[in-house]
Structure 1
Amino acid sequence: MIAWLNRLVDLVEDHLTDDLDVDRLASTLGTTEHHLRRMFSSLAGMPLSDYVRRRRMTVAAADVVSGSGDLLDIAVRHGYGSAEAFGRAFQAVHGVTPGRARRDGGPFRTQPRLRFRLTVEGALPMDVRLVTRPAFRLVGHAARVPLVHEGVNPAIREHVAALPPTEHHRLKALGDAEPHGLLAVSTDLDPDRRESTELTYLHGVAVTDGVDVPADLDVVPVDAGSWAVFRATGPYPATLQSVWAATATDWFPSNPWRLRPGPEVVAVLDRADDFSTATVELWLPVEPA
């Protein structure tokens, strides 16, 4: 996987002034765009789209300062249809307009070219099991919420807190499939997992086709397939978020599996009364790499 990501970085440099066909690249590497984007985001600490924009603007800054052509020429040279669109992208990265940067010689926020290297990780074993499940449904109460990478997600907390205790009991009674218990489901995520982008969050349970789902509940159908199930115990939600990061840095690079499209599911197996600590299972949809 390290070689895939470095090849991706090389192609970004080759296509800074035009569109990068990530899907085609993924196919040539024997993987999928979904998996490639997710691994890049997790390991680089930024979405692929942000990295491309930052590198493009880093190179463009040299043209702006050198005065090689007017701003419209530079905008077109770097893949933008207008000086206004280029100016917005330039200011978003550097914090100044191209005109001011040309006049004052900066300041600039340079994005160095990335290079992924293999380091020795995985000193602590990961508690994971692989399961194959037939198609099932996730049912419950859904809401659109912003993505938060670290700490408690206030929108999710408010969504769950608004449900009366009787609703939690009703959902538990409906669930008849694994993953068992009340579930935290994330689906429709941005491919690059950019902070604050919207996702669909569902608080609910897993059910088989034999369950008659009440009309007032939202339903997320789930295809048959394999799942990697990671179990962890510790402070919540920090432990869960660190487990997700470890899947990208430790588990996927050393195992012949890749992510496939589908919801990410968290099952809370046990927790403190104040939810400060918990034992959780993170279910990720996977397929052979």
Structure 2
Amino acid sequence: MLERLNQAMDHIEGRIGGHPEESVDAAELARIAMTSEYHFRRMFSALAGMPLSEYVRRRRLTLAGAEVLAGERTLLDVAVRYGYSSGEAFARAFRAVHGVGPGEARRTGAALHSQPRMSFRLIVEGSSSMRYRVVEKDAFRLVGRGARVPLVYEGMNPAIVEFVKSIGKETLARWEEYADGEPGGVVAAVSNHSADDAEGTELDYFHGLVSEVEVPGASESLDVGAGAWAVFESSGVFPQAVQYLWRDVYTQWFPSNPYRSRPGPSLSRTRLSEDGTHADAELWIPVERDGD
């Protein structure tokens, strides 16, 4: 899988270098990687730490920046060469990446930002093992509370932390008593999130439990369709145990197993020790077999 991903990365470079004015087709990249476009985008954002579209934009403007400084083409020619319909649109995009406009960069020889070319390789890190199982599950319902929160690719998400605090420890403890199915206990669900969303884009976050009965304090519900789920478990130092689990799913498990992610909410459950230093984490990812 990693070899095919790197072949897709080579295709990106060939397209940007040979035909920089043309868009990069994500469906073609998925074909090269021999997977679905949905899974390719999810894999890429998990491995690269940014959406595919953002990486392509940064690479294209990195190459454009070199041409701006070289001074062999007019700024408008550079803009058109890299697919921008006007000098103004090019200047806005250029400034967003480099922090300076193309005209000023050419006049002053300003230092520009460079997005290095990416390639993927397998690195095994961490001291805890990753346990998993694949289960088929009928449709089920989550009850609890939901919120719109900004997307954060790295570190804690302050909006989620505050939202969970607003529910209250006593309410969460009561919810545990009503859980009557898998995944057990109180879980977090993230849905309606595209792998091509930029950081800061709002997504749907739900905190609740699997239950078919009315639960005190659970004012909303989320229906989850039937399908296969890859369920991962990990134990270790918090928060590294949780962070490594998400990372390892995409850098180790998917590349070496005949599955790909499918549309649907990702579910997670974290149990902390009393002192908050140790975590038992469980992660549910909706999957389907390659070729289905």
TM class by smaller structure? 0.7 to 0.9
Are the aligned partners of 1:149 and 1:241 in contact in 2 as well (CA < 8 Å)? no
Per-residue CA deviations over 1:247-274 (Å, capped at 9, x if unaligned) read 1111111111111111111123x32235
Match of 1:185 among 167, 182, 189: 189
Per-residue CA deviations over 1:180-223 (Å, capped at 9, x if unaligned) read 1111111122313643332211110123xx54688972222212
Q: Distance in 2 between matches of 1:57 and 1:246?
A: 31
Give the C-alpha shift of residue 39 in structure 1: 1.5
Q: Distance in 1 between matches of 2:125 and 2:278?
A: 25
Aligned to 1:73: 77
Are the aligned partners of 1:150 and 1:241 in contact in 2 as well (CA < 8 Å)? no
Q: Distance in 2 between matches of 1:272 and 1:216?
A: 25
Identity of aligned residues (%): 49
Are the aligned partners of 1:38 and 1:193 in contact in 2 as well (CA < 8 Å)? no
Q: Distance in 1 between matches of 2:168 and 2:122?
A: 48
* CA pair 234-121 structure 1, distance change in 2 beyond 3 A: closer
TM (normalized to structure 1)? 0.88
Aligned to 1:246: 248
Q: Distance in 2 between matches of 1:121 and 1:267?
A: 22
Q: Distance in 1 between matches of 2:124 and 2:173?
A: 45
Are the aligned partners of 1:265 and 1:282 in contact in 2 as well (CA < 8 Å)? yes
Q: Please give the secondary structure, in 1, of the residue aligned with 2:105.
A: helix
Q: Distance in 1 between matches of 2:230 and 2:32?
A: 25
Q: Distance in 2 between matches of 1:66 and 1:150?
A: 36
Give the C-alpha shift of residue 47 in structure 1: 2.4
Q: Please give the secondary structure, in 1, of the residue aligned with 2:6.
A: helix
CA RMSD of aligned residues (A): 2.6
Are the aligned partners of 2:122 and 2:252 in contact in 1 as well (CA < 8 Å)? no
Q: Distance in 2 between matches of 1:235 and 1:120?
A: 17
Question: Are 1:284 and 2:285 matched, yes or no?
Answer: yes
- Counterpart of 1:255 in structure 2: which amino acid? N
Aligned to 1:9: 9
Per-residue CA deviations over 1:60-111 (Å, capped at 9, x if unaligned) read 1232123344323321221112222211211122221101111122312222
Give the C-alpha shift of residue 170 in structure 1: 5.1
TM (normalized to structure 2)? 0.87
Question: Are 1:33 and 2:37 matched, yes or no?
Answer: yes
* CA pair 236-54 structure 1, distance change in 2 beyond 3 A: same
- Counterpart of 2:4 in structure 1: which amino acid? W
Question: Are 1:109 and 2:102 matched, yes or no?
Answer: no
Give the C-alpha shift of residue 122 in structure 1: 8.8
Match of 2:99 among 77, 95, 100: 95
Q: Distance in 2 between matches of 1:239 and 1:38?
A: 21
Q: Distance in 2 between matches of 1:117 and 1:215?
A: 46
- Counterpart of 1:282 in structure 2: which amino acid? L
Q: Please give the secondary structure, in 1, of the residue aligned with 2:167.
A: coil
* CA pair 120-242 structure 1, distance change in 2 beyond 3 A: closer
Q: Distance in 2 between matches of 1:151 and 1:70?
A: 42
Are the aligned partners of 1:17 and 1:78 in contact in 2 as well (CA < 8 Å)? yes
- Counterpart of 1:45 in structure 2: which amino acid? G
Are the aligned partners of 1:151 and 1:238 in contact in 2 as well (CA < 8 Å)? no
Question: Are 1:224 and 2:226 matched, yes or no?
Answer: yes
Match of 2:163 among 156, 159, 166: 159
Are the aligned partners of 1:151 and 1:237 in contact in 2 as well (CA < 8 Å)? no
Question: Are 1:273 and 2:274 matched, yes or no?
Answer: yes
Q: Distance in 1 between matches of 2:219 and 2:40?
A: 34
* CA pair 215-240 structure 1, distance change in 2 beyond 3 A: closer
Aligned to 1:263: 265
Q: Please give the secondary structure, in 2, of the residue aligned with 1:128.
A: strand
Q: Distance in 1 between matches of 2:35 and 2:78?
A: 35
Structure 2 unmatched ranges of 5 or more: none
Per-residue CA deviations over 1:115-159 (Å, capped at 9, x if unaligned) read 334556798642111111011122210001122334332111111
Are the aligned partners of 1:17 and 1:56 in contact in 2 as well (CA < 8 Å)? no
Aligned to 1:63: 67
- Counterpart of 2:265 in structure 1: which amino acid? P
Give the C-alpha shift of residue 174 in structure 1: 4.2
